[in-house]
Amino acid sequence: MTDRLTPEQRHRVMSRIYGKGTKPELKVRQWLWRHGYRYRLNVKSVPGKPDIVMRRYRTAIFVNGCFWHGHHVETFQETSLQMVNSKCCKIPQTNREFWVNKIKRNQERDQKNYQLLHDNGWQVIVIWECQLTPKRIEETMLRVELLLNEHFLALHQPKVIPYDVQETPISIAAEEENYGKR
């Protein structure tokens, strides 16, 4: 089936369909801000230009549109153009080849960016648009918060733990004292 529209016109139509409502990225930013997290946007010095950069947590967050980044779509290697729709990424039948190629390119670029960030010591968190519905946003963001804090702990953990935490409970005051000596 051929498309009546030029790729540019089609792009505008698809943007209108899939870009409705509050931008997913904005929902994430608002949640983080309300919960006291501070971040920077469009930091050019960080590879892959993540949507949100949290230096304190050495974490880069990408907020991905399910359509553009092919959330949950299945691809088959033998026939490189075959891609199976998912619940949140429905590729149009019209001009399908064009869209499959576009989504594949986006996915490849994503993977390269994530890898580059990872190699540079960044934690990468990918949040999908479908995880930000009113029903799911709280659960999603609590998971993000957990990842942030776990990573922060990992970054700042003392190299040697001089006692068995479970067997020898130690008061915070005593721990502070030990910490000062190291």
Residues near Zn ion (CB under 5 A): 66, 71, 88, 128, 130
The whole-angstrom separation of Cα 32 and Cα 26 is 10
CA distances to 153, 157, 165 from 171, in Å: 19, 17, 11
Cβ distance to Zn ion smaller for residue 34 or 87: 87
Exposed / middle / buried, residue 79 (Cβ in 10 Å: 0-12, 13-18, 19+): exposed
Residue 65 phi, psi (nearest 5): -70, 135
Q: How far is the CB of 94 from Zn ion (least distance, A)?
A: 22
Q: How far is the CB of 112 from Zn ion (least distance, A)?
A: 21
Q: How far is the CB of 171 from Zn ion (least distance, A)?
A: 47
Cβ distance to Zn ion smaller for residue 114 or 128: 128
Cβ distance to Zn ion smaller for residue 52 or 63: 63
The whole-angstrom separation of Cα 182 and Cα 52 is 35
The whole-angstrom separation of Cα 42 and Cα 56 is 16
Cβ distance to Zn ion smaller for residue 135 or 156: 135
